[in-house]
Amino acid sequence: MELKGRSISKGITEGIAIVSKEPFSFLGGVNEEGIIIDKNSELYGESLKNKIFVFPYGKGSTVGSYVIYGLAKRGILKGIINKECEPIVATGAILGKIPLVDKVDIEKIKNGDRVVVDGNSGVVIIK
DSSP structure string for 57-90? -B-S-TTHHHHHHHHHHTT-EEEEEESS--HHHH
For domain 2-126, the CATH superfamily is Phosphohistidine domain (3.50.30.10)
Tell me, yes or no, if 61 is annotated catalytic.
yes
Model-wide pTM > 0.95: yes
Mean pLDDT of 62-67: 95
Model pLDDT for residues 24-57, shown as the tens digit of each residue: 999 999 999 999 999 999 999 999 999 999 999 9
Q: For the segment 91-112, what is each residue's pLDDT rounded down to a tens digit?
A: 999 999 999 999 999 999 999 9
Over 90: is that where the pLDDT of 60 sits?
no
**Residues 6 or more apart whose Cβ sits within 8 Å of residue 100:** 7, 8, 9, 79, 80, 81, 82, 85, 89, 90, 93, 94, 117, 119
Instruction: Determine the pLDDT at residue 102.
Output: 98
Q: Assess contact for 84 and 57: CB atoms under 8 A.
A: yes
Q: Which amino acid is at 19?
A: V
3-state secondary structure of 53: strand
The pLDDT, as a whole number, for residue 73 is 96
Annotated catalytic residue: which of 25, 61, 65, 121? 61
Whether residue 61 is predicted with pLDDT greater than 90 in this model: the reply is no
